[in-house]
């Protein structure tokens, strides 16, 4: 959790994508997210996080003329 320059709390990462979406011959979701010692995070932790993200998601109606600015120092979007 990071606090942006305007004081808003933000949470951006690839944990949910790695755990729920990267399933192929090279990627096993149960092994995709690990601690520093390569021990997989427990399923309950990741499913709780996925539920939290879903419950706190927001969507905006995009219309002509609207734009978004991403502060990579807060979202780590480029990493």
Tokens at residue 26, please? 């090279």
Instruction: Please tell me the predicted confidence (pLDDT) of residue 44.
Output: 92
pLDDT band at residue 5 using 50, 70 and 90 as cut-offs: confident
- CA–CA distance, 6 with 69 (Å, rounded to integer): 13
Is this structure's pTM higher than 0.75? no
The count of structural domains within the chain is 1
* b/e code 60-79 from CB counts within 10 Å (16+ = b): eeeeeeeeeeeeeebeeeee
Structural domain containing residue 37: 2-75
pLDDT digits (tens, 9 = 90+) for 36-78: 898 988 989 888 988 888 887 777 788 899 887 777 666 655 4
Instruction: Please tell me the predicted confidence (pLDDT) of residue 58.
Output: 72
pLDDT digits (tens, 9 = 90+) for 16-29: 778 887 777 777 87
């Amino acid at each position: 959790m990071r606090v942006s320059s305007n004081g808003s709390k933000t949470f951006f990462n690839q944990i949910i994508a790695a755990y729920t979406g990267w399933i192929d011959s090279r990627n096993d979701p149960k092994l995709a997210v690990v601690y520093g010692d390569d021990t997989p995070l427990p399923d309950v932790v990741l499913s709780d996080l996925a539920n939290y993200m879903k419950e706190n998601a927001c969507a905006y109606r995009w219309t002509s003329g609207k734009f978004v600015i991403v502060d990579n120092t807060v979202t780590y979007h480029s990493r």
